[in-house]
Copies of this chain bind each other. A is one copy, B any other.
């Protein structure tokens, strides 16, 4: 009665039987006299009995909870991914505990400790912009807690992962710009400790090389996802002696801010500078010119990752790797020909 809820013990006492019999009657998989079982089920229903999850957690050493460790919920990609994760998890009877690293390695490591303390049954991870090692994940693996990386994966650890074809799509995006006649293509690249950022940059460079265009240092801008610097590096780019005629942005919101700066400087999009975004936010269709972007299926990545994690939790110990293809969505901001 302490928490106001009735327990298996209460039912046992009320019926004058032992609590083991009650437990067996409720769990259905043991020999209990049909009449006894009926009485137990009846009373349990009447009293609105629900098993105490805390007791089960302790006894069974699991919590039916999965941890999610992402950079930021305000990043729309992750906000959408959470949707997919929760749908899959909830359908399977799991709760979801979410932590944000705020793109900080130290916070990521601390979050991981919290999730460990909370005894989550598994963890979904997208690493922070600062993360360049994996020892903090090893602690979980040593304790047999499965981890599934999604989007911002770690290539070092042999875990399940859900990832996108960053190399291929960056290659395709860059080729698209070239096909529109662009010759001086700049890119805003993410932190190079991230697998995705490296691949994106590689795809960009390989596309340039394939078409015999020079890869120029000053056309490659380093960004760390933090807002606030966009105006600065955009200004730097358009003031270069050899002004770029296209910019591959790091995401759509940065792209839209760049467009704003470019237009303020009297340049036209796409005629003077074409712009290519990333993430295909809804808003891409409503800005002027409409923004070409890359669609990422964030929701699907989340649900696939959750599904793989549940697989691992249920004992399927073969790590699986799942590719979710992204897709170039061409709009006016890169439309010069055809």
Give the interface of A toward B (CB within 8 A): 2-5, 50, 52-55, 57-58, 61, 63, 65, 72-74, 76, 79-80, 82-83, 86, 90, 95-100, 114, 117-119, 142-144, 227, 253, 256-257, 259-260, 263, 282-283, 285-288
Q: Could you say which residues of chain B place their CB within 8 Å of the CB of A54? A: 54, 57-58, 61, 63, 119
Q: List 9 A-B contacts (CB under 8 A).
A: A3-B61, A4-B144, A53-B118, A58-B58, A73-B73, A86-B99, A260-B287, A260-B288, A263-B288
Taking a contact as CB atoms under 8 Å apart, the answer to whether B283 and A256 are in contact is yes
Known contacts being A4-B142, A53-B118, is A83 close to B90, with CB within 8 Å?
no
Chain B residues within 8 Å of A50, by CB: 117
Q: Is the CB of B95 within 8 A of A95?
A: no
In the complex where A4-B144, A286-B257 touch, is A79 in contact with B73 (Cβ < 8 A)? yes
Taking CB atoms, residues of chain B closer than 8 Å to A257 are: 286
Shortest Cβ distance from residue A124 to the other chain B in the assembled complex, whole angstroms: 13
The minimal Cβ–Cβ distance linking A167 to chain B, given in whole angstroms, is: 28
The CA of A227 and the CA of B286, in the complex, are separated in Å by: 13
**Inter-chain contacts of A118 with B (CB < 8 A):** 53, 65, 95
Is A83 touching B79 in the complex (CB atoms < 8 A)?
Answer: no
A252, chain B: closest CB distance, angstroms: 9
Which B residues touch A114, using CB under 8 A? 90, 95
Say yes or no: B98 contacts A143, CB within 8 Å.
no
